[in-house]
Structure 1
Amino acid sequence: MKLTRLFLPLLFLIFTSCNSIRVVSDYDTKANFDDKKTFAFYKPGIDKAEVSDLDKKRIMRAIEAELIAKGMQKSSSPDVLISLFTKSRERVNINDNLNWGFGYGWGWNPWMWGGAGRLNVNQYTEGTLFIDVIDAEKKELIWQGIGSGALSLRNAEKREERINKFVKDILAKYPPGSNKK
């Protein structure tokens, strides 16, 4: 019984404290991604992103590293343009950690349902990063990846680490069908 009392709250804590990033993507099914080998950043789009200049640099460095790792090259006459957009919102997570227990014994409540618990309130910022891939010739959006998750605001290293994770998870779905190979 004591093992159950320890295991359930621990399991609950693990699942509620996960820093997962939710990723979705969409693309133009008529676009040919096989001939998209070079990229450049789309400055007008990036300038509009509501994020600090330091975070823009971090995001752009992470995108560049991921695309180069996929075999693409940065170019002044690119096949695709990369733009980004960000959103954030404050979230509150409330957990009621009751110590549910079972018991057997004499007295007023022999089944001992319930128990004392603690209310945990966690406030955090949830960020969403949109990465747009635009056909440079047609000036049309051909792929979009979106990642949402909790942001780490602690220090520059943790922030950069989190941004790298966001970008890696989003671009794992680019180009379409690449994760099936």
Structure 2
Amino acid sequence: MKNTFLLLFAFVALVGCQTVRVSQDYTIGTDFNQYKTYAYFKKGVDEAKISELDKKRILRAIDSEMGARGFTKSENPDVLVSIFTDTKERVDVYNNFGWGFGWGWGGWGGFGFNGPFNNNVNRTTEGVLYIDLIDAKDKELIWQGVGTASLKSSPEEKVERTNEMVREILMQFPPKPKR
């Protein structure tokens, strides 16, 4: 029982520390081992509604991560990489209230409500990054990774967050076969 509690506590602590939430989708039955080279899908990259500086940050991070996975850029690629970005507002509401127990005069105890009600609202703008991998020959989407994280403001923080998002998204590629 004690070990189960510690394991659950460690899991909750790790999930709570995760700053990038990621997911993936892909075409079942695709042999991802056949893909070794990539290039950018120019139309997709050009249509991303972000600044040129942010596009460059994302593309540099993708180049780094694809290289780390053994992919090389090519004029005649196996896959095309496209990106899409979005923003959304995340609203977290925290209700602070609780129950308490205390000792009173002459040994009389009390059980009651600890107040007052405190509702805290936290609004955060989050960026959403989609990375699409398209089979260059068939022109079909074969894999999509999505990452969501709060946005940063300084250029240094933006580079760090972009690298983190791309790394976390592409950690899912290629998809691991289900056992």
Q: Which amino acid aligns with 1:37?
A: K
Alignment partner of 1:87: what SS?
A: strand
Which structure features the higher share of strand residues?
A: 2
TM-score using structure 1 length: 0.80
Counterparts of 1:19 and 1:123, CA distance in 2: 18
Q: Which residue of 2 is the match for residue 58 of structure 1? A: 57
**Aligned-residue offset at 1:75:** 1.2
Counterparts of 1:40 and 1:99, CA distance in 2: 56
Alignment RMSD, CA only?
Answer: 2.6
Q: Which residue of 2 is the match for residue 96 of structure 1? A: 95
| Gap change, CA 1:115 and 1:109, over 3 Å in 2 | farther
Q: Which residue of 1 is the match for residue 150 of structure 2? A: 150
Is 1:114 the counterpart of 2:106 in the alignment? no
Q: Which amino acid aligns with 1:74?
A: K
**Aligned-residue offset at 1:121:** 2.7
Which digits, 9 at most, give the CA deviation of each residue in 1:26-78, with x for residues without a partner? Answer: 11123221121111111100111111111111111111100100111111111
Q: Does the 8 Å contact 1:101/1:115 carry over to 2?
A: no
Counterparts of 2:102 and 2:164, CA distance in 1: 45
Count matched residues: 165
Q: Which residue of 1 is the match for residue 66 of structure 2? A: 67
Q: Which residue of 2 is the match for residue 131 of structure 1? A: 131
**Aligned-residue offset at 1:19:** 5.3
Q: Which residue of 2 is the match for residue 167 of structure 1? A: 166
**How many percent identity over aligned positions?**
48
Counterparts of 1:82 and 1:54, CA distance in 2: 18
Which digits, 9 at most, give the CA deviation of each residue in 1:66-92, with x for residues without a partner? Answer: 010011111111111100101112232
Alignment partner of 1:101: what SS?
A: strand
Which digits, 9 at most, give the CA deviation of each residue in 1:128-158, with x for residues without a partner? Answer: 1110001111111111111122222x21111
Q: Does the 8 Å contact 1:19/1:150 carry over to 2?
A: no
Alignment partner of 1:115: what SS?
A: strand
